[in-house]
Amino acid sequence: MVIISKVLRFGRKKLHTIVSRDKIKPSSPTPFHSKTYNLSLLDQIAVNSYMPIVAIYPSTNAYQSPREKTLELKNSLSKVLTHYYPFAGKMKKMGPTFVDCNDEGVEFIEACNTSSLSDFLQESVHEDLDQLFPDDRIWFKRRIKSSSDDENTSNESPFSVQVNHFACGGIAVATSLRHRIGDGSSSLNFRVDVTSHSRDVTSPIINPHFITYQPTTVKLPKSDPYIPPKKVVSKSFVFSNAKIKDLQAKVASMTMETRNPIVNPTQFEVSSWLLHKCVASAATKRISGNDTKTSVIVPLNLRNKLKEPLPTTSIGNLFYSLIFPLSNNHGDVMPDEFISQLRREKFKFKNIRLETTLGTVADRGGI
């Protein structure tokens, strides 16, 4: 493992104080024939953003100190990066077509918080979670920018990590992945490998499945660049298993006498319907006298939907955003209408070919 370390200390106290920055490189060099990783068409037209994921771990007696815990994570990260070599490379900030797998490494940041993990989770507002992530790489944000950072030519790491230590011994491990190198499944597979190997160095690493793409000469359709809204409100909702099961039973009962009875509704279906119902109802009350147009966007994992299914460990943007309007534009959308329409949209992607999806996406100009 190669670590390039630079210690930083700040006098002004924040919720999280950054104490170090490291570069974690793959434990073995990337072979010459894998130095260039071409991005697929789906990757290239993905929204230029970051995907943030945070995992929270309460304090345990397994480690004597935070340093011991961090060192184990760094070693695991270095080992797994050998298999996920594009994550440790460099790619252009704007309009990349490939990743230069130069083993430069991923940024590894450590931060400390003087409060306990439980106090932080109970007392902080949702925006406080932003500080858990490396350099504020959350969706379309990026806090740190150098003076020579030209948007068209600058290169940056596709993946970064921040480990947040709390006074009680608990930690929060936050990661940000450039969306143009992979989707949520890609990021989660990587995290599972790092976590498993950190707990048990003898555990086998899930070999990621990289699809070989030739350099594309496809001329992408011109479209206005996506401009994120100036203000986005994020909320967290916790549903207990018991409440979810009650909701599933209620939805099945409510739809029993309808034209589209919903048999065995999934947890995702019932929770999505409930959230949409609440949001649409609130919007209708806020804009009284006007029809409130509502649509639903659902990311669909294509790995197991294709005619020739891909391994679940496939790396890249292998999803499609289902976007469908609801015929009922008020807050009283019934579960049979919502879930039936969701299932119909998902069924359209059963046993299709990847080439068909690429063509559809190219015509639409994005995913």
For residue 199, give the DSSP letter. H
pLDDT digits (tens, 9 = 90+) for 190-221: 988 888 877 766 667 677 898 888 776 555 55
Q: For the chain, report the end-to-end CA distance as a whole number of angstroms.
A: 37
- What is the CATH architecture assignment of 3-210? 2-Layer Sandwich (3.30)
241-364 matches 3-210 in CATH topology: yes
Output the pLDDT for position 346.
87
Mean pLDDT, the chain, as a whole number? 79
Name the 3-class secondary structure at 111.
Answer: strand
Cα separation, 111 vs 171, whole angstroms? 10
Q: Which ranges of the chain would DSSP assign to H, the alpha helix?
A: 41-44, 66-81, 117-123, 184-199, 241-254, 267-286, 335-347, 354-364
Q: Mention every residue, 6+ apart, whose C-beta is less than 8 A from residue 361.
A: 41, 42, 45, 320, 367
- CATH class in words for 241-364: alpha beta
Q: What residue spans define the domains of the chain? A: 3-210, 241-364
Cα separation, 92 vs 97, whole angstroms? 8
| Contact present, 180 and 43 (Cβ < 8 Å) | yes
- Is the pLDDT at 35 greater than 90? The verdict is yes
Output the pLDDT for position 248.
95
Of the two residues 142 and 128, the one the predictor is more confident about is: 128
Per-residue confidence band for 92, with pLDDT thresholds at 50, 70 and 90: confident
